[in-house]
A and B are shown apart, each in its own frame.
Chain A
Amino acid sequence: MAELKNPASILTLIVIGLCAVVPFLAPALGEPFYVIVFARIMIWAIAAVSLNLIMGYGGMISFGHAVYLGIGGYTIGILAFHGITSAWIQWPVAIGACAFISLIFGAISLRTRGVYFIMITLALAQMIFFLSVSAERYGSDDGLNILTRSDFGLSFFDLNDKLTMYYTIFAVLLASVFISWKLIHSRFGVVMRAAKSNDTRVQAVGVSTYRYRLIAFVIAGVMCGIAGLLQANFERFVSPDMMNWPRSGELIFMVVLGGMSTIFGPVTGAFVFLMLSEILSTWTIHWHIIFGPFLVLVVLFARGGIHGLLTPRASRDE
């Protein structure tokens, strides 16, 4: 819990606190649009937290992580298209699909290291991307509209209610941060971090790191898939673009920007990345000219991301 005592974590707690009050604060300030912005930020933050599990703590730089956003989202969309709207069916199927695909992709890609791992995760993800592009029945390039949100059949829990939808996303974000924290501080997480620093050494003391990496890969895939199913429900729309490689690149950047190997870093990274692009895009249509160099500067001069800049050196994870 030492992480909660430094300025970076205080910043994240402010961000999380802001997320908690935005549905009331934004309309009161005459900016209801920001409720939608914050919901999107939280969905991306969940995906970034999941990527940080494998990239930050396991050293696995997946360049295809956004594919699980797509798989989670498309499972909801396709089931809804076929008239299956019960959340009790949709959500387990989406989670199961993400677990299955990430297990297959992980089993293949984790046999490689370094740049080969990056390339193979990219290739596998693009395979699913092109599959979705070619699926004419489900909208191809144009995407798929979802007419009905997941139905839990509970009168007090209806995702069509804006507040319920928003706070469901918020609760999942908190849960994903908590699960990450628990995992990283469990023996499982300790082995993952040890393997990141010296995989050969971990194996030489009798631990098959492949199994640990694969389990982490599946957990991260499922967590990202949940972000995808939330996105599908929130937007009521899925498209191949949500799992295209630039989205995976953005996820990597959110993690790096916030601070790899930190529990709250990806949340801060997602918030700063999306808010900055949102604000800059209102100033000029050429906002990428400002945004691009900013990202380059962060990589060059803030090696530990925002959390690295704000965290005293002694209390950093690495």
Chain B
Amino acid sequence: MLEVRGIEASYGASQVLFGMDLTVGAGEVATLLGRNGMGKTTTVRAIMGMLQPHGGRIMFDGVGIHGLPSHKVAQAGIGLVPEGRQIFPNLSVRENLVATARPRRGASRDMGAESWTFDKVIDLFPGLSPRLESAGNQLSGGEQQMLAVGRALMTNPQLLILDEATEGLAPLVRTEIWSCLADLKTARQSILVIDKNVAALTKIADRHHIVEKGRVVWTGTSDELRADGELQARYLGV
């Protein structure tokens, strides 16, 4: 579904990605792991068209999306839950969800995949139900994260990307987010997750990519990652 091959990207004169490779298959949950400053978020920004890579290619469903503006990338079927949530603080929860909602499109619609609707998102996150008329900036961090995931799902993405999915959240809320991702996986939603919680990720992800200094240095399954303590210590500081 998503194929990133050898992308290179820079912030001004400072190069961050040095030939990043990444693959997410249909219905697969993949992760991007690594210490801070290794280029995980930059990879997401490059995929989403928020940063134009100067080398390599990004294919989504067999179509090149590198160089496209971010709204075109999102329209192609990629939904992003950004780092820091970035919900719209001046809109109510309901407005946050419906503002950018989009019906399912392309292959997944033809395959009869069920669309995400407002009611379905509220069913997934019942905690948002009593807060529908509250402004975004009146929500707790956990509620904001649920809202950010719900907002991305309302665009009916073929691929959902979560950048720092549980960063700064209380343990109980983290559990809820992981449980939600597990439900999404059961529903065959393709997901790319960036997070530091290796234990939780190995329970739900099919494939992991470890990033070091702007490129992927290891790819493998959850079992392989769990079994390799030295790998975790060297690249993830676990």
Q: Give A residues with C-beta under 8 Å from B.
A: 187, 190-191, 193-194, 196-198, 200-209, 261, 317-318
Q: Are A197 and B91 in contact (CB under 8 A)?
A: yes
* Interface pick from B94-102, B120-128, B169-177, B230-238: B94-102
How long is the Cα–Cα vector from A196 to B88 in the complex, in angstroms?
A: 9
How long is the Cα–Cα vector from A200 to B50 in the complex, in angstroms?
A: 8
A205 surroundings in chain B (CB, below 8 A): 74, 79-80, 100, 151-152, 155
How near does chain B come to A37, taking the closest CB pair, in angstroms? 35
Which 8 residue pairs across A and B have the least CB separation, nearest first?
Answer: A206-B74, A205-B100, A190-B99, A203-B71, A194-B88, A206-B75, A203-B70, A204-B70
How long is the Cα–Cα vector from A201 to B80 in the complex, in angstroms?
A: 9
A-B contact list, 14 entries, CB within 8 Å: A187-B99, A190-B91, A191-B100, A193-B90, A193-B91, A197-B89, A198-B86, A202-B99, A204-B82, A205-B79, A206-B74, A206-B100, A206-B102, A318-B90
How near does chain B come to A30, taking the closest CB pair, in angstroms? 47
How long is the Cα–Cα vector from A193 to B136 in the complex, in angstroms?
A: 12
Q: Are A203 and B95 in contact (CB under 8 A)?
A: no
How near does chain B come to A132, taking the closest CB pair, in angstroms? 38
How long is the Cα–Cα vector from A205 to B91 in the complex, in angstroms?
A: 15
Q: Are A194 and B50 in contact (CB under 8 A)?
A: no
Q: In the complex, what residue of chain B is closest to A201 when comparing beta carbons?
A: B86
How long is the Cα–Cα vector from A197 to B86 in the complex, in angstroms?
A: 10
B48 within 8 A of A: yes
B69 within 8 A of A: yes
How near does chain A come to B160, taking the closest CB pair, in angstroms? 12
Q: In the complex, what residue of chain B is closest to A261 when comparing beta carbons?
A: B90
B70 surroundings in chain A (CB, below 8 A): 200, 203-204
Q: Are A201 and B90 in contact (CB under 8 A)?
A: no
How long is the Cα–Cα vector from A317 to B88 in the complex, in angstroms?
A: 12
How long is the Cα–Cα vector from A207 to B96 in the complex, in angstroms?
A: 13
A197 surroundings in chain B (CB, below 8 A): 88-91
Q: Are A190 and B95 in contact (CB under 8 A)?
A: yes
B89 surroundings in chain A (CB, below 8 A): 197
Cβ 8 A contact of A204, one of B74, B88, B99: B74
B48 surroundings in chain A (CB, below 8 A): 204
B75 surroundings in chain A (CB, below 8 A): 206
How near does chain B come to A213, taking the closest CB pair, in angstroms? 13
How long is the Cα–Cα vector from A190 to B135 in the complex, in angstroms?
A: 13
Q: Are B79 and A196 in contact (CB under 8 A)?
A: no
